[in-house]
Amino acid sequence: MVHREIAPGLEKEVMEVAIHLPEDIAQHVQKQWEDVARHVLESLALAWYQSGELNEEQIRRLLGYSTRVRVHAFLKEHGIPLRYTMEDLEQDRAAHDRLGI
C-alpha cells in the first residue's frame, strides 16, 4: 500500500508492507527478536545493500539513521563490507579539495 505521509513541514510518499506469518512462526520469531518488524526491515536492508539494489544513502534513509557513519557501523555489526569504488574515492578527494582538507 502506498500512501502520503504528512509530517510538520514534510510530505512524502511511503509504502507500507504487511507480512502474514502463521501463528507458530510468529511466536518463534517473537522469542528471538523483540522487535520483529525492525529485524525484518534490517534484514531486507542488508540483503538489498549486498545485492547492490540500495546504496548507503538509501539504507540510511530506510533505517532512519542520521549519518553515513551510523550506516557503516550497522554494516560492520553484520559483517558486511562497504562498497567503496574508485568513483567514491574520486568524489571524496574532490570534496576534500573543496574543503581544503
Domain spans in the chain, listed from the N-terminal domain onward: 22-99
* Cβ–Cβ < 8 Å for 14, 3: yes
- Say whether pLDDT at 96 is over 70: yes
> Distance between alpha carbon 13 and the CA centroid of its chain, in Å?
17
More confident residue, 13 or 99: 99
Question: Per-residue pLDDT averaged across 47-74, rounded?
Answer: 95
Query: What is residue 75's predicted lDDT score, i.e. its pLDDT?
Result: 97
Residue 54, all three cell numbers: 540500495
Higher pLDDT, 101 or 62: 62
| Residue 54 · residue 62 · CB < 8 Å | yes
The pTM of this model reads 0.73
Rounded-to-integer distance, Cα 46 and Cα 75, Å: 7
Give the Cα-Cα-Cα angle 52, 46, 21 (nearest 5 degrees): 120
